[in-house]
Structure 1
Amino acid sequence: MNSLTRPFVPPQKKKENGESKLSYRKPLNNGFKLNNQSKIAVKRTIDLTDDTPNFNLSHVNKICSVLYRKKSNKKNKSWGLDGYGIILSSSDTTYDFQSHKKLVLKVYNSETGNFIASLSLIDNNDTYIGHYGNFEFQFSHYLTIEEDIKRANDVLNMKVNKKSTPLDVEDSSFEANLSDNVDTSNNEIQFIKKTKVDKSIFDHKFVVPVKKNNLKKMEEYKQSKVLPGKPLFDKNKIPNALVMKKQNEYTDIDVVVDPLLSQILRPHQRQGVEFMYNCVMNIVSPKISGCLLADEMGLGKTLMSITLIWTLLKQSPTAKLINNRMNDTGEIKKVLIVCPVTLINNWRTEFIKWLGNKVGVKTLQTRSGSNAADNDRKDFESFLNLQKVYQVCIISYEKILSLKSIFELNTFSDKVDLLVCDEAHKLKNNNSKILQILKNVDFKRKILLTGTPIQNDLQEFFTICDFLNPGILGTLNSFKKNYIVPITRARNTESRYIKEIVELGEQQSEELINETSKFILRRTNEILNKFLPPKRDYIIFCKPTENQLLISEQILNKSDVDTSSASSAPSFSLGLITLLKKICNTPKLLQSDSYYQSNLQRVMPTSQHKSSELDSGKLRVLDALLKEISTTSDKIVIISNYTQTLDIIQDLLRYKHRLSFVRLDGSISGKERPGLVKDFNTSPHVKCFLLSAKSGGMGLNLIGGNRLILFDNDWNPAIDQQAMGRVHRDGQKKECFIYRLVTAGMIDEKILQRQVTKINLSKKILNDQTNNNKKGNEKNNSDIFTTEDLKDLFTIKKNTRSNTHDLICDCLGDGIIPHGMEDDVEDDVELKLNTFISGNQAESLIQKIQDKEKLDKQEVMKQCFKGFRHFDLCHKKEHKLIDPVLNNIKRDDITFILEK
């Protein structure tokens, strides 16, 4: 409605002295009359004066972004309109059991600057919707970026007095500035509305920085048609700025990591952010749009990922000028993070820790009830449709199954710009339903995070790489032909001395390393040595009790295991293997084992199997450790694969040592876990943390403890590595001690030795550079176990100090790191195998081959335990170790110790 006219006003009743009379409100004569006619002609002109005020960004949370839409009965509604909200006042309130602020706003259209509504909204909440007239409103985010605030001021035509405090809403005016000097000499009255526009936009001249006579680059620039832009941050004004690499140095602008994050990144983390950026932005290769960050635990994979996400959300190397205004929306808008359910709160906490409320994070936690699936679907659709409210959504791997229908939509890949998978080794199985759902979505960019990408074999490694960058390694059949078969044959002991096979395997290994190193980055936690307190690793070999040996022998006899046959052991029941593992922990677990109850309980006398309180070598060593550590101020983390073992340890803590503890296993909900971790890390009254390795061994930061006891081993080395990395992490202030308990001569040692094979393969393919010994790296191609070793799995060695040490060397165990062993067998053994020889020569040659195999096995084992000092406690009890606790405890139940 024009401000110079007024509509007809109907008569209104007015009471005077108790009598009702009709009164008329006269229209205001505020129009201008020329020649007895009112002429209203408004001409708008643009003031190009460069008079941009100085903005003081220290006053934040004065302007916010608001989403609004017309009321509708549609089932799937989206927020199609944006506005600027001027915050007149705010007050603390509680909504959905969380603290928020209630904002009193005036809302203006973000394009035209027209006034829309005055209402109240709740900030940072995706469920509260305000109403005004025929519109619905929802809070989006505070404006904190300087350019965003300037743009808002330009749209709203804010009058900012340079001498007064900027963004002082109460003293600012947003109405049009009408000129008081009216020229009445013309037939038209001109009212001028000034709109300030940055003059530099029109005066900006862009010079292509190409060398003289470089016609090719000139032609590339002409075809690109990219308008000049400017970076979000000036790299020349930031000390030690982290600037990303450009794909096109002539047209791209600088992408500079926010100094808020770049100043806290360590050198290896800066390198990691650059590596991820180069992969997801196709700078490495057009075929590569994803990367695998395979750093070991504790190197900050989460922080590096958050840094990259924040950078891509706010910046793009191809910024353009749109409608005379800089487009700084960033390269991506939506990020989906998939992780184990136990890590959802960890990710959310990390975003808040490093970025505060700068990023909208949506989490889909585990729910119960009949409407849980529908609520998850609504929340996920809300994340996808609310453009400016949420930028990041964090869900669990299991949640993908319940959201399958949304992932299968054709438009889903257009709504999610970046996929991040934490603990990505969960995607190693090609038959996994979760993996198939993700593979069917054509994500533009992917980041996989795992410290253990190779857990068992190369086929799992191919599955992860092919999901990350489809087709990068060819088909599975071609990968088997080109890599798996030759590498496996070269590692086979039967082909070890055939020169052609070994050379081909080495050649294909190097080719695979070169191909995958383009999108895989692997660093070990040796990098942390300069940043964290020292860490001491101990492998403690515990002497089995007589009852443990007796029960194990009886079980093997009653189970009819043919230990003389190399083929029967691998195919035998996994239940028997699990039962033998439990006996290594304690014979108390015998009666509750399902395999024992169904197969052995009837044929074995139970009277011999009654165990005492500490009828286990490992329990006795644990008891001695607890007794000594309880006299110190150190806190303890105890980890086991079995909750039944944790029950026994829990009783030991509670009734014998009277130590306070918290426990985290599969029965603890995701909401309770952060509180348990916080209590252990901060409360001086909590001494121990009992942890189930499989349900809580990933991502937990237990820096409140500095002594960790791994009570039992797992066949998968990744689980043990994850578990042992809980205390030696960023924030740790004390020297750390890791104790790994192993029952000497029993299946515990076989598991430890089998782990070495898998870790060895991982180091080789991931090009682990921790071992610079060329000879040692060559030995990494050798397999440690032959088929003869498989039948040894069910063999009990009663009189060994440590079967593992027997494979390493024959030193005296005097605490000295043994020197390298020389290989005295001729290098031309493989040549003699291919020639005709006599019977006597064959017997001599076979003996030499067996000797060489033994030496090779010792060499590989030695490389895996490189740097450990050897202590034989059977022969000498007074050995002095670095750890004072091990020096003071009763060591009658310890046969051997490896110290590093």
Structure 2
Amino acid sequence: MINFKPHQQLSLDLTADKHLVAYYLDMGLGKTFVGAEKLIQLKAPINLLICQCSKIDDWIEHFQKYYTLPAFNLTEKKQYERFFELTELVSGIVGVINYELAFRRKDLLNLRDFTLMLDESSMIQNETVKRSKFVLKLAPKNVILLSGTPTSGKYEKLWSQIQLLGWKISKKLFWQQYVDTEYLDVNGFPVRTIKGYKNVDRLKRKLAKHGAVFMKSEEVLTLPEQFDNKIMIPTTKEYRKFMRTSIVKVADTELVGDTSLTKRMYARQLCGQYNQAKLEAFQDLIQSTEDRLIVFYNFNEELKKMLELVDERPVSIVNGEMKDLTAYNERDNSITFVQYQAGAKGLNLQKANKIVYFTLTQSCEDWMQSKKRIHRMGQEKSCFYYYLMCRNSIEEEVLKTLESGRDYTDNLFEKYCEVY
């Protein structure tokens, strides 16, 4: 029997009479336990769970461990076929699949009388992409949405999700009533940007009627303090030249920023993998402690260069090619390298209390989620975040933008280039 935390039990109690629900619980509040329990309570003969690829095994293990529920990995052909065979014979089975593969499995559109659970439901925030269109075409009897994003105020991302909760408000009206916007002139073109939100209490009351529960960590938990530490590093002459001319040669590689996208990418790389002073600062930092460390990074070349500096320390890696947390779990002096897209969401890394940001993501959501990998239930120590930052560079502007709750976009980069 699972012993739920009071806030988890409250979430279930608030939605006890509903079959279309959303648990917008802050990162670290245990959405997995709440969502799985609600799925069991709904008692649907068939259950379909869509999540990120890196979370498939974790979800299957959760159902098998706590509920002894038949759970199938629908990314594997034999298990996919077996799942559909058993839908005609067995009641109470779960199929787990990732977002990027789900829309390629057209048979899922034929499922009826089933519970649909979306882990990190913010993945369908853009209703125009294939994965979102596919999810919105499904015909579930019950719906469970799990996300921590709206608790941080990203309410504009909710519209496609509330369609699944039965609130059939148009996107235009939703934005008119709840999103505060303004138009900025960008190179002669009006671009709509989000200033903030309005009628938030009314929005939450409306969503509560449609089965949504909002909870933030500070409302229900007393978590340890968090401390940010910036380690400032000089930019290279190559970086400064590139920002002036949009072209530079580094280590026999010519970088040409002929578009805002390529210039932004190379500017970030010149502050990371091509900055020897940052690599040395990283080496000094990891040599200063034997504690477990989590290191977030962006590019494969960054990982390659950092791995050359770790000496004999045990290493775990989570990226698009592998997920190996053996060293993290078994060795208290391990270093775990995590690529944002693969591990900023969903991982439980509270055995560590220190994160090193070798480079920053451009996504505010991924950045906020990354901090919560260690600052969550079960953490007993203060949490420390170390930012390796190039002074007077794009990195300072990126962090400033993330701290303001926004993504770092091309428009912001263009403005920064003009200032620089």
TM interval, short-chain normalised: 0.7 to 0.9
- Secondary structure of the corresponding residue to residue 758 of structure 1: coil
Specify whether residues 711 and 427 from structure 1 end up closer, same or farther in structure 2 by C-alpha distance, changes over 3 A only.
same
Give 2:402's match in structure 1, choosing from 748, 752, 755: 755
CA offset at residue 488 of structure 1? 0.8
Does the alignment pair 1:435 with 2:132?
Answer: yes
TM-score (norm 2): 0.83
Specify whether residues 678 and 651 from structure 1 end up closer, same or farther in structure 2 by C-alpha distance, changes over 3 A only.
closer
Aligned residue runs from structure 1 range 638-787, under 5 A: 638-654=295-311, 658-668=312-322, 673=323, 676-683=324-331, 687-758=334-405
CA offset at residue 528 of structure 1? 6.6
- Secondary structure of the corresponding residue to residue 652 of structure 1: coil
CA offset at residue 640 of structure 1? 0.6
Residue identity matched to 1:381: F
Specify whether residues 310 and 459 from structure 1 end up closer, same or farther in structure 2 by C-alpha distance, changes over 3 A only.
closer
Specify whether residues 445 and 459 from structure 1 end up closer, same or farther in structure 2 by C-alpha distance, changes over 3 A only.
same
Aligned residue runs from structure 1 range 352-363, under 5 A: 352-355=64-67, 357=68, 359-363=69-73
In the alignment, which residue of structure 1 is the partner of 2:417?
A: 794
CA RMSD of aligned residues (A): 3.2
CA distance in 2, matches of 1:790, 1:696: 25
Contact conserved, 1:543 with 1:743, CA < 8 A, in 2? yes
In the alignment, which residue of structure 2 is the partner of 1:524?
A: 216
Give 2:50's match in structure 1, choosing from 338, 341, 353: 338
CA offset at residue 721 of structure 1? 2.0
Residue identity matched to 1:621: A
CA offset at residue 300 of structure 1? 0.5
- Secondary structure of the corresponding residue to residue 413 of structure 1: coil
CA offset at residue 623 of structure 1? 2.4
CA offset at residue 275 of structure 1? 2.7
CA offset at residue 541 of structure 1? 4.6
CA offset at residue 342 of structure 1? 0.7
Give 1:512's match in structure 2, choosing from 203, 212, 225: 203
CA distance in 2, matches of 1:642, 1:690: 11
CA distance in 1, matches of 2:15, 2:263: 45
Contact conserved, 1:338 with 1:395, CA < 8 A, in 2? yes
Does the alignment pair 1:542 with 2:254?
Answer: no
Contact conserved, 1:709 with 1:741, CA < 8 A, in 2? yes
CA distance in 2, matches of 1:543, 1:752: 15
Q: Deviations over 1:871-892 (max 9, x none)?
A: xxxxxxxxxxxxxxxxxxxxxx
CA distance in 1, matches of 2:219, 2:175: 34
Aligned residue runs from structure 1 range 279-678, under 5 A: 279-280=18-19, 290-313=20-43, 332-355=44-67, 357=68, 359-364=69-74, 366-367=75-76, 372=77, 375=78, 377-388=80-91, 390-404=92-106, 406-409=107-110, 412-414=111-113, 416=114, 418-453=115-150, 460-471=157-168, 474-484=169-179, 487-489=180-182, 508-509=199-200, 511-518=202-209, 519-527=211-219, 529-530=221-222, 534-545=224-235, 548=236, 550-559=237-246, 573-587=260-274, 615-616=276-277, 618-630=278-290, 634-654=291-311, 658-668=312-322, 673=323, 676-678=324-326
Specify whether residues 351 and 338 from structure 1 end up closer, same or farther in structure 2 by C-alpha distance, changes over 3 A only.
same
- Secondary structure of the corresponding residue to residue 320 of structure 2: coil
Specify whether residues 301 and 271 from structure 1 end up closer, same or farther in structure 2 by C-alpha distance, changes over 3 A only.
same
Specify whether residues 442 and 649 from structure 1 end up closer, same or farther in structure 2 by C-alpha distance, changes over 3 A only.
same
CA offset at residue 403 of structure 1? 1.7
Specify whether residues 276 and 753 from structure 1 end up closer, same or farther in structure 2 by C-alpha distance, changes over 3 A only.
farther
- Secondary structure of the corresponding residue to residue 585 of structure 1: coil
CA distance in 2, matches of 1:399, 1:627: 41
Give 2:4's match in structure 1, choosing from 255, 265, 278: 265
Residue identity matched to 1:408: L
CA distance in 2, matches of 1:733, 1:432: 41
Residue identity matched to 1:544: P
- Secondary structure of the corresponding residue to residue 629 of structure 1: coil
Residue identity matched to 1:522: F
Q: Deviations over 1:374-425 (max 9, x none)?
A: x35412312422324x522222223312321x1333xx223x1x11100111
Contact conserved, 2:73 with 2:79, CA < 8 A, in 1? no
CA distance in 2, matches of 1:301, 1:493: 38
TM-score (norm 1): 0.41
Specify whether residues 754 and 449 from structure 1 end up closer, same or farther in structure 2 by C-alpha distance, changes over 3 A only.
same
CA offset at residue 513 of structure 1? 4.2
CA distance in 1, matches of 2:403, 2:383: 23
- Secondary structure of the corresponding residue to residue 263 of structure 2: helix
Q: Deviations over 1:498-526 (max 9, x none)?
A: xxxxxxx9765554344334443222222
Specify whether residues 475 and 342 from structure 1 end up closer, same or farther in structure 2 by C-alpha distance, changes over 3 A only.
same
CA offset at residue 704 of structure 1? 3.2
Q: Computing the radius of gyration over CA atoms, which structure comes out larger, 1 or 2?
A: 1
Specify whether residues 397 and 459 from structure 1 end up closer, same or farther in structure 2 by C-alpha distance, changes over 3 A only.
same
CA distance in 2, matches of 1:299, 1:578: 34
CA offset at residue 529 of structure 1? 4.7
CA offset at residue 293 of structure 1? 1.6
State the aligned residue count: 398
Contact conserved, 1:677 with 1:702, CA < 8 A, in 2? no
Aligned residue runs from structure 1 range 99-110, under 5 A: none
CA distance in 2, matches of 1:266, 1:293: 15
CA offset at residue 559 of structure 1? 3.0
CA distance in 1, matches of 2:380, 2:153: 35
Specify whether residues 796 and 478 from structure 1 end up closer, same or farther in structure 2 by C-alpha distance, changes over 3 A only.
closer
Q: Deviations over 1:186-242 (max 9, x none)?
A: xxxxxxxxxxxxxxxxxxxxxxxxxxxxxxxxxxxxxxxxxxxxxxxxxxxxxxxxx
CA distance in 2, matches of 1:716, 1:442: 31
The percentage of counterpart residues that share the same residue type is 21
CA distance in 2, matches of 1:421, 1:583: 38
Pick the structure with more helix per residue: 2
CA offset at residue 698 of structure 1? 2.3
CA distance in 2, matches of 1:653, 1:665: 18
Specify whether residues 305 and 456 from structure 1 end up closer, same or farther in structure 2 by C-alpha distance, changes over 3 A only.
closer
Residue identity matched to 2:341: K
CA distance in 2, matches of 1:754, 1:445: 38
Pick the structure with more strand per residue: 2
CA distance in 1, matches of 2:174, 2:73: 38
CA distance in 2, matches of 1:482, 1:538: 36
Contact conserved, 1:535 with 1:738, CA < 8 A, in 2? no
Identify which of structures 1 and 2 has the higher relative contact order when contacts are C-alpha pairs closer than 8 Å and 6+ apart: 2
CA distance in 1, matches of 2:163, 2:136: 9
Residue identity matched to 1:420: M
CA offset at residue 720 of structure 1? 1.5
Aligned residue runs from structure 1 range 93-132, under 5 A: none
Specify whether residues 270 and 665 from structure 1 end up closer, same or farther in structure 2 by C-alpha distance, changes over 3 A only.
same
CA distance in 1, matches of 2:388, 2:17: 43
Contact conserved, 1:706 with 1:736, CA < 8 A, in 2? yes
- Secondary structure of the corresponding residue to residue 18 of structure 2: helix
Residue identity matched to 1:311: Q
Aligned residue runs from structure 1 range 231-242, under 5 A: none
- Structure 2 residues without counterparts, runs of 5 or longer: 186-195, 248-257
